[in-house]
Structures are given as C-alpha cells and as structure tokens.
Structure 1
C-alpha cells in the first residue's frame, strides 16, 4: 500500500491537540478560536484519511461494498469506542451534574445537546461536540464514497463544501448567534469536505490545486489580520463577517499543509515534522483530547496540594494539568488502546482470496488479506 504510513500527519495531530490544550489550559480568556482551529485541523485530517482509505478499498480487485462497510464500522468502533465510553463511565461516577446529558453523549449527539440548550453545561464534556461531529460524518460519508458513481465523487464533495459555506449565511438572517451556529453538522462539513476533496483528487492522480499550494500563505495572513482585528461591540455589523472569515480562511492553508505532509516534507521542515516527541504526541492525541478536561477538573480540585496556581488559566495549569493528561493518555495508549487496535486484523476491508487446489477443497488456507488499514495510530 503506497500510503502505509503518513508519519508527518502525526505531527499535524500533535499541533492540533496542542492548540486545544493551549486554549483550554493556558490562554487568558480561553482564546476559543485557537482551540477551534485545532479542531478544524483534526476535521481536515479525518476527511482526508477516511476518504482515501475508502477509495483504496474500492479500488481493490476483490472489493465488495457490504464487507467493506462492515469492516469500516467495526474498525472505527474498535478504535474510538473503548476509551470514549470509559470516559463517560468516569464522568457518570464523578459528576452528578453531567448525568442528565450522558445518554446524548453516549449516542454521539453531544453537539445537539449543547446546541439545544445553548449552553456549555456540563462543561466537563463540552469538547465531545467535535467527536460527535466526526461520528456523524463516519456514519454517512462511507455510504457516499463506496456507493456513489466514482466520477461524481469530486462534484459531490465540492457540493458538500458549498452547502457548508452557504449554511453560514443563515445566521445573519436569523440574527441568532447561538451555539447551534458552530455545533450543528453543516458548520463542520466544509473542513471535513476539504480533506475529502484532497483524497478524491489524489485518487485520480491530481493534487491540491496550484492556486491553493501557492496562495495559502496569503490566506493565512488574512486570517491572522481578521483574528487580531477589533471584534467591535456585540451584534455589530462586523461580528458576522468576522466570524465567517475566521471559520473559512484557514481551510485552504490547512488543506495545503495536509497535502504537503502526506506527500512528505523534506529538508528542515521535514525533520521537524518527524521530530520523535512530536510524533509521539500525535499518536496519543485522541487520548489527550478525550481525557484533558477530566484531568483539568481533578487538578483544580487538588489545588490545595499543588504549589502553583492551577485554579485559573496560566502556566501553572498548563504544566500540571497538561503533564497529567500526557501521562494518562500515554498509559491509555500503551495498555488499553493499542492492544485493542490489534483486533482490527480480523476486519480486513477486502476479504482474503482462497488458495486454489487441495487447500481450497478442504476449506482452509487463505492468501494474505489485502491490508488496507487506516493510518490511525493516533486520532482518525
């Protein structure tokens, strides 16, 4: 398999989860756009990797839709469910306030829960909104990739991105800056779709368009200018355009960076993207994202035992809660997630072909299965 391991994509996972930790543990006032930027990068990565994986399965000579779909969902459950539901179990034990919403989280409807109540309660699970978005994407997108006419996939992907962008025009009409604006699935389909578009183009021998590869620094600079601009008073004329630009402008830079890393950066940037500690953080990034809020809550409760201030955003909280998160996520990966990932070998995307001859008549002996495993040592 040509793309057996995109090692530099782990570096992007590490960057994405670091942005989330920075927003939740260190930055004064939360700097929510920084964490949201990390989540959007996760979405682009997921859209690219999942779509590429499904297209490679579809191209195999022994491909069948039914077995491929069953294997996809089984492998996603093996990778995602165990630590996810372990966290929900811990929250059920530790936080009575969170219990009324746990059924929503267990059904991967966290984003709808928070949008429905227009409030981040319970805050302990508020980051689960993005995991729900991804699971909703996994539920529908494989059906499209594996069943839609191959020549229509690029147009379908562009239509998904266009619909997501158009969705943003509803909010100034509704005059309602509710959480639903950011948390309902259409608000994230542009990022997931951009990653998927890159995979679809790669499958037909193309890459990111030249204007994206050359023009992304300009869009990145425009994004920084908009972020640093004065947001103005609430409900000002600049509020909605600013929000839209903050959401949309990073998409092309992210797509270009994912494209470059999946091809393999060379030189100093390539060496940086393969820096072992960065890759290690990328591998455990799913656990870091899952566990960090619980460990933050435990850190704050233990303030009387900790010699530095962890009750507020700042270096003390970042160092203590961040270190605890890395330790727990590392242990989870080594002793929990990685062993379970070994079960994926029982769910190949393409069924193994039988050897011809006597072994076939006796009903045993199979050729090795075509290995189309996703590059998901860390997050998907």
Structure 2
C-alpha cells in the first residue's frame, strides 16, 4: 500500500472538518453550505476507504467472508464507539439542552431519524450525530454487499445506489414540501458514499475516475459556487427547488475527483501543501474534532459570563474559544484514549493465514501471522 495517498487523504479530512468548524463557529448569518460540503467530503472519503479495504481483503488468497465481516465490525466498534459513547455519557450526566430524553435514539445510531421525524434540530448539541448515524447505517449494509455480492456486480450496484439517491432527491420537489427528512434520511447521503465506493471499485479493476469527470470537475465546482452564492429569493420562489437540487448534486463529481487525485498522491506544490504537518495532524484527529465541537460550544455558551469574548454568536470570539477548546480536547482524546484503543485492531485482521501444523506446512504458509491487516489505511 502506498502511504503517500493515505497521508494526503488525512489532509482531506482536515479540510472537511475545517469547513464544518467554519460553518458552526464563524459563518455569518447561519450560512451552512460549507459545513454541508465538508460532510459530503467525509462521505465520499468513507465510501472510498471502506470499499477499498474490503476489496483488498476479498482479493487475498486466504479470504473468507465470515472472518472478514467479523473483523470489519470489530474494528469499527474499536474506532468509533468509545469516544462516541463517552460523549453520550457526558450528555446524560449533565443533561445539557435537556438532551437526555433523546439519548436512546443517538445510542442506536438513529439520530438522523430522530431529527427527521421531529423536523426540528433540538437538541442542537447532538445534531451533528445525524451524519455519524448515516455512516453507521452504511457500515451495516455495505460490507455485506462488497464481500458477498458477485464481484463483477459491485460496480453496477454502486451506480444503482447513486441513481436511487438522485431519484430520492428528485422526488421531493415533485411530491412534498421541504423538511429535514429531505436531507437526513439515508437515501439523501448514499450518493456521496456510493461515489466514493464506485471510485474504489474502478481502482480495483485498474480504472480511475471517468474522463468526463477529470475534464469537467473544475467547471462543475465553479458552477456550484455560483449557485450557492446566488440569491435564493423568497422561500416559495420557483428558483428554490432547482437551486437546492443543484447544490446537492453538483459537488459529487468535484469531490470524487479530488479524492481520486489525493489517493493517487499529488505532486509538486499541491502535494507539498497536502502533506503539511499541521494539516496531517488535524486530519488524524478529525473524528474527535467533529464529535466534540458542538458539545464544547454548548459548554462555552453556558460559561459566557466568565469569558471576555463573545461566544454566544457566530464570529471570531466563538471560533477562537470553541475552536481552541475543540482542538485541545480532540488532541488529548486521540493521544490518551483513541490511539491506544486503536492498537486493539491488530487482533482483528481482515485475512489471516492458517496456523501451520507441521514444518512442511510452516514452509508452505509462512507461519500463522496475519497476511492482510490494513491498519495504515483504516483511519476512518
């Protein structure tokens, strides 16, 4: 496995989480499109990395679907659950924003359904869990497809998922009014996850992003920014629905192209920029940054009487105080909590050689060491 590509993907994680922090701490007038774009980038990355890992496991000579699935889920639990449930435990103890009543939904990774059914963002400090729930729902189903479906069908399945998600988006302007369910139910995000998965599938057969994406993604990105910065007009204007659809769909090709480029390893100045140590460090702790930042913001707002800067509103004060607290807590969490636990992944290799019983078997199989651990790329 080439490590340069994985290093640069850490930088993409840093970019994604910085977009989210900007949207929640600094963006004026509640502007959230950059935060939304950061989440979509996380989804493309997750779809790509998870699918690549599973396909590499499947290609190993000693592959068995059952052990690979068990290892996948065990590694996800080790990586994701400890800090996630630590946050839920803290919220339960303090009952901040009276969030205790909804904790069962969040504990079951159904946050997106909680907010969609209520059509309301309360409690706000856990609203970012909707995207973590989407990813967990993806992790439940997608490995079964990648490891058990006929190999030659996985690319077609990925394309089908993208088309289904786009059809779901088209359903809303035709059939119903805007609501949080439009953006929070699983089909609303499967296009981004499946775009990443499709990239991994194409890579596995020696292809790359289609030529039209390589040629057109800068123009699509520019058009996306133009649409975002356009005045949407009244809430019931004829421009509202097509604008929403364009904002949702246009980023797919640029984000996929960017992930493809960084996974290959950028060269020159861009490559050096993508491997700057601060960006790599931020990318490494990005899960903690994303997980903790609204919680720390909520505590900062409660402590406003003792803070000389204004943290109660979007602006530099909030960005400085809550952002600094987030980076400190996420760094400590990574060093003393998440990283040590991640070491347990070595007990769950995706593919392991059989234990040799005789000297002849030992020469044949090379001992009983794992053959495909994949730890360097399994940071998502």
Asked if these proteins are the same fold (TM beyond 0.5), I'd say: yes
Q: Gaps spanning 5+ residues in structure 2: where?
A: none
Equivalent in the alignment of 1:30:
30
Q: Is the 8 A contact 1:352 1:369 kept in 2?
A: yes
Equivalent in the alignment of 1:146:
147
How big is the shift at 1:355? 2.8
* Mapped partners of 1:183, 1:131: distance in 2: 11
How big is the shift at 1:358? 4.8
Equivalent in the alignment of 2:46:
46
Are the structure 2 counterparts of residues 375 and 185 from structure 1 closer, same or farther at C-alpha, using a change threshold of 3 Å? farther
Per-residue CA deviation, residues 245-276 of structure 1 (Å, 9 max, x unaligned), is: 00110110000000000000000000000000
How big is the shift at 1:215? 1.1
Equivalent in the alignment of 1:67:
67
Q: Is the 8 A contact 1:53 1:372 kept in 2?
A: no
Equivalent in the alignment of 1:80:
80
Per-residue CA deviation, residues 197-250 of structure 1 (Å, 9 max, x unaligned), is: 000000000001111112100000110110011101012111111001001101
Are the structure 2 counterparts of residues 4 and 81 from structure 1 closer, same or farther at C-alpha, using a change threshold of 3 Å? farther
Higher mean C-alpha displacement, 272-281 vs 167-176: 167-176
Per-residue CA deviation, residues 47-73 of structure 1 (Å, 9 max, x unaligned), is: 000000000000000000000000000
Number of aligned residues = 376
Are the structure 2 counterparts of residues 5 and 78 from structure 1 closer, same or farther at C-alpha, using a change threshold of 3 Å? farther
* Mapped partners of 2:371, 2:162: distance in 1: 32
Equivalent in the alignment of 1:316:
317
Equivalent in the alignment of 2:227:
226
Equivalent in the alignment of 1:56:
56
* Mapped partners of 1:189, 1:345: distance in 2: 30
* Mapped partners of 1:316, 1:143: distance in 2: 46
Question: TM-score, length-normalised on structure 2?
Answer: 0.96
How big is the shift at 1:188? 0.2
Aligned pairs for 1:186-197 within 5 A = 186-197=187-198
How big is the shift at 1:377? 6.5
Q: Is the 8 A contact 1:44 1:254 kept in 2?
A: yes
How big is the shift at 1:311? 1.2
Q: Is the 8 A contact 2:53 2:378 kept in 1?
A: no
Aligned pairs for 1:164-243 within 5 A = 164-243=165-244
How big is the shift at 1:3? 5.8
How big is the shift at 1:366? 3.7
SS in 1 for 2:235: coil
Question: TM-score, length-normalised on structure 1?
Answer: 0.96
Equivalent in the alignment of 2:301:
300
SS in 1 for 2:61: coil
SS in 2 for 1:370: strand
How big is the shift at 1:163? 0.4
Equivalent in the alignment of 2:341:
340
How big is the shift at 1:99? 1.0
Are the structure 2 counterparts of residues 145 and 78 from structure 1 closer, same or farther at C-alpha, using a change threshold of 3 Å? same
* Mapped partners of 1:152, 1:2: distance in 2: 27
* Mapped partners of 1:233, 1:111: distance in 2: 27
How big is the shift at 1:309? 1.1
Is 1:163–2:159 an aligned residue pair?
A: no
* Mapped partners of 1:370, 1:122: distance in 2: 45
